[in-house]
Amino acid sequence: MKLRTIVLKVNPQYPEPEKIREAAKVIEAGGLVAFPTETVYGLGANALDLKAVLRIYEAKKRPPDNPVITHVAHKEDVYRLAREVPDDAEKLMDAFWPGPLTLLLKKARDVPRPGGLDEITIRMPANKIALALIAASKPIAAPSANLSGRPSPTTAEHVLQDLDGRIEMVLDGGPTEIGVESTVLDMTSKPYRILRPGGVTLEDLRRILRDVEVHPAALAKAPTDLAKAPGMKYRHYAPKAPMILVEGKPEDVVRKVKEIAKEHEGEVIGIMATEETAGSYDIGIVKVVGRRSEPRSIARNLFKTLREFDQLGVKLIIAEGMEEKGIGLAISNRLRKAAGYNIINATEGEKG
Ligand code: TXA
Ligand code: MG
């Protein structure tokens, strides 16, 4: 089915009510609307309409066993969607909502889910356009608004690169702030486990609750299908060109990236560097993803930079690894998956 995708520019500070109403009508009718959140753009459908939710899978070409997140605008919706809301979940909602934290809870029996899952993931995004659209609709199911496997979209332009003609509408609210997706936390058993690191960090969560750990698969050091979150087993965030991720101490990383670049002299290669290191390279197309001293700037530009390399048609991307502290855990997770686990440790000099 080829659709004409309508693009509406929306004021991110004061979303125009008539535009929100227009988008809500599309959702109401079972259609698909891409909209900005503070993390990445989401592809929304009425979460309570199973047919509409299945259209998301079709538009994204998403594997049917990878469940989507339900977005709410009011905390009260959580009590309708989940059959148990632990006190600890209340504490996290109070601390981090609206914001980039998704809670995995036991699902209420009357909420439909593709595949009949017994659990549901819920989040309240911190973006005025998203909140206005959800408030004007019912809870909205929304994965990232990219074709399955591609880097997540952080602008309306990225959404169109993947989904033009496949969805009814895009709300263009400008670039997203955080740039990597929300943190997914499994609260169905203790210790609570991060299934996907994201905008709210492990350190942030531990300031509120002691009992939080990182699921080993969330580190994404190697492929796995023991994963609790089905999404963790797929290749994700992948640019078109093959990618090598070089991890280790920054000085070792720079040395190793240069060495690999040299081996590919004469080919069109891209180097994903940081402000601190970019000056060290004299071959390849060098792109600065952000500042090591301010890792949130790296998160913000990460997916955009991968898409830019694609558009330049590079044949290989060599990316510098980042420190795993704070938001760095989410950055490393995305880089490792984008590289298809093609990881070199420059400090230990070993592969893996
Ligand atoms: O920041 C975000 O979370 C963005 C924006 C649009 O809100 N959404 C997003 O959705 O990243 P998506 O579908 O691309 O990623 C959802 C992740 C996947 O890893 C999926 O496997 C996991 O959450 N997930 C969702 N529901 C689940 C469930 N019931 N059980 C286990 N994992 C679940
Ligand atoms: Mg996604």
Where along the chain do its domains lie? 6-219, 243-351
Ligand nearest to the CA of 41: 1
Ligand 2 centroid to residue 148 C-alpha, Å: 7
The per-residue pLDDT for 1 is 65
Full-model pTM? 0.95
The per-residue pLDDT for 64 is 87
Q: Residues 210, 216, 221, 223: is their CA dihedral positive or negative? A: negative
The per-residue pLDDT for 109 is 87
pLDDT at 350 over 60: no
pLDDT at 352 over 60: no
Tens-place pLDDT, residues 4-52: 999 999 999 999 999 999 999 999 999 999 999 999 999 999 999 999 9
Give the strand order in the sheet containing 285-288.
Answer: 285-288, 269-273, 316-320, 243-247, 343-345, 350-351
Q: Is the peptide bond before 98 cis (omega within 30 degrees of 0)?
A: yes
The per-residue pLDDT for 327 is 98
Residue 37 beta carbon below 6 angstroms from any ligand 1 atom: yes
C-alpha 166/C-alpha 158 separation (Å) is 14
Q: List helix spans (H) across 168-221.
A: 202-208
C-alpha 346/C-alpha 352 separation (Å) is 11
C-alpha 24/C-alpha 188 separation (Å) is 32
Residue 20 beta carbon below 6 angstroms from any ligand 1 atom: no
The stretch 258-268 carries a mean pLDDT of 96
The per-residue pLDDT for 351 is 47
Burial of 110 (C-beta count, 10 Å sphere; 0-12/13-18/19+): exposed
CATH architecture entry for 243-351: 3-Layer(aba) Sandwich (3.40)
C-alpha 195/C-alpha 67 separation (Å) is 13
Confidence bin at 227 (pLDDT 50/70/90): low
The per-residue pLDDT for 234 is 58
Ligand nearest to the CA of 229: 1
* Residues 6 or more apart in contact with residue 241 via CB below 8 angstroms: 270, 309, 310, 314, 315, 316, 317
Among the listed ranges 132-136, 192-196, 236-240, 261-265, which one has the minimum average pLDDT value? 236-240
- For 155, list phi and psi in degrees, rounded to 5: -140, 165
Pick the atom of ligand 1 nearest to 41's CA: 6
Beta bridge partners of 171: 8
Q: List helix spans (H) across 64-194.
A: 76-81, 87-96, 128-136, 156-163
* Residues 6 or more apart in contact with residue 44 via CB below 8 angstroms: 27, 32, 33, 34, 35, 71, 133, 137, 140, 141, 142
Ligand 1 centroid to residue 130 C-alpha, Å: 16
Say if strands 269-273 and 140-141 run parallel, antiparallel, or are unpaired.
Answer: unpaired
On whether the CB atoms of residues 186 and 215 are closer than 8 A, the answer is: yes
Pick the atom of ligand 1 nearest to 178's CA: 1
Tens-place pLDDT, residues 51-89: 999 999 999 999 988 899 999 999 999 999 999 999 999
The per-residue pLDDT for 26 is 98
Residue 160 beta carbon below 6 angstroms from any ligand 1 atom: no
Helix axes 328-338, 295-312, angle to 10 degrees: 20
CATH architecture entry for 6-219: Alpha-Beta Complex (3.90)
Tens-place pLDDT, residues 285-294: 999 999 999 9
The phi-psi region of residue 193 (left if phi > 0; otherwise alpha if psi is between -120 and 50; otherwise beta) is: beta
The phi-psi region of residue 284 (left if phi > 0; otherwise alpha if psi is between -120 and 50; otherwise beta) is: left
Beta bridge partners of 271: 286, 318
The stretch 79-102 carries a mean pLDDT of 97
C-alpha 43/C-alpha 53 separation (Å) is 10
The stretch 205-211 carries a mean pLDDT of 97
